Amino acid sequence: MGNRFICMLKKDTKETGSRSKRMSRSQRKLAAEEDLLHRQALSRVLHQHQMSQRFDGSMSRRVGGSTSSRRLALSDPLSNGKQGPEFLEKLTSKKFILVHGEGFGAWCWYKTIALLEEAGLLPITFDLKGSGIDLTDTNSVITLEEYSRPLIDYLQNLPEDEKVILVGHSSGGACVSYAMEHFSQKISKTVFICATMVSDGQRPFDVFAAELGSAEQFMQGSKFLIHGNGKEKPPTGFMFEKEQMKGLYFNQSNAKDVALAMVSMRPIPLGPIMEKLSLTPENYGSSRRFFIQTLDDRALPSDVQEKLVRENPPEGVYKIKGSDHCPFFSKPQSLHKMLLEIAQIP
């Protein structure tokens, strides 16, 4: 009996060790796949930016548009490579316009760009005025229209019979809302990713009031304010300290993406997010809206996102567990899957 028990124990120990080795291999594989996605996507976006600088000199550019023949090996089987022709035929639009939020630039979408391209879609993104590698002085950007100019120019030049899917992140929700009001006939759907989905007469800043206090209090004494025209003049922008940004925006993002953000984030123009939006039922109200909630978000907490959804109900609401304020970093496959689902809704 004793010998039999020892043999059984040895067998169990061996099997446990084998399972541990398998788990370790699986974890290593996932890490390698994520690293591959990171390197290939970042390389692609940086290449696009370099090309746009070399030939045009303008810093607000389209990124994407050509689908790579190489497929990325992803851990999420629902977002693995190109979709079949049946999937693409169902779509009313293959163009995704990705609009970044405050302090970010086109660079932040690099994983989403790669995933959408691999699905056979056309991701397009811009540096808003004074953002990313756009050369405009942030302090000179006063209005939401000026801030959104690269998006506006693109939609104005879009053929009348063509529609796009707009995607806005964080305060980029104000830019896509502005676009919905003025170009509703050119927009198939709009997706707000933990974004400022405001009501008529509301300021984008008001959404962040729970974290930053009232606009009046913030303008009077915040240590994050920037006075680009001199201390005696009204503030022109603001920017969080690096450690505060890490805690607010990137609490679930990996170290590489946080490092990229720390060297790429720029001050936020104050005028556009303090501007009250004028939104009408005929234009903004006629557009199809979807909201993606990020459930581990410290910049825009879940209760604030729930409030936005209650006060301005969209057609559909999606939720990403374990995502911080930047799901394009912390949960890129989950975000990608939801964008594909929304794109397919008739």
Question: Residue 207: what pLDDT?
Answer: 85
Q: In 3-state terms, what secondary structure has residue 140? A: helix
Tokens 């234009």 map to which residue? 283
Q: How far is CA 93 from CA 151, 152, 288, 340, in A?
A: 17, 18, 13, 11
pTM: 0.77
Structure tokens at 263: 């060297």
- Judge whether 146 and 167 are in contact, CB under 8 Å: no
Which among 33, 112, 102, 45 has a CA at the least distance from the CA of 325? 102
What domains lie within the chain, and their CATH numbers?
124-151+189-194+202-346 (3.40.50.1820)
Question: Residue 110: what pLDDT?
Answer: 98
Question: Residue 139: what pLDDT?
Answer: 94
Instruction: Tell the burial category of 309 from Cβ atoms under 10 Å away from its Cβ (0-12, 13-18, 19+).
Output: middle
Choose the catalytic residue: 325, 330, 334, 336. Answer: 325
- Judge whether 203 and 193 are in contact, CB under 8 Å: no
In the chain the first and final C-alpha atoms are separated, in Å, by 67
Beta-carbon contacts of 173 under 8 Å, excluding residues fewer than 6 positions away, are 101, 192, 195, 196, 197, 198, 204
Choose the catalytic residue: 52, 148, 170, 287. Answer: 170
Q: Sign of the CA dihedral 253, 114, 295, 75?
A: negative
Category of 235 on φ-ψ map: left (φ > 0), alpha (ψ -120 to 50) or beta:
beta
E strands in 144-186: 164-169
Q: Mean pLDDT, 10 residues at a time, over the chain (346 residues)? A: 41 45 54 57 48 32 31 34 62 91 97 96 96 95 97 95 96 97 96 95 83 49 80 87 92 97 95 95 95 95 93 96 97 97 92
Cα–Cα distance between 113 and 41 in angstroms, integer? 7
Structure tokens at 303: 């209760």
- Judge whether 313 and 289 are in contact, CB under 8 Å: no
Single-letter code of the amino acid located at 327: P
Cα–Cα distance between 1 and 3 in angstroms, integer? 6
Question: Residue 84: what pLDDT?
Answer: 56
Choose the catalytic residue: 127, 206, 297, 324. Answer: 297
Cα–Cα distance between 114 and 67 in angstroms, integer? 9
Q: Based on the residue annotation, tell me whether 297 is a catalytic residue of this protein.
A: yes
- Give the distance, in angstroms, between the CA of residue 148 and the centroid of all CA atoms in the same chain: 16
Provide the pairing of β-strand 237-238 with 164-169: unpaired
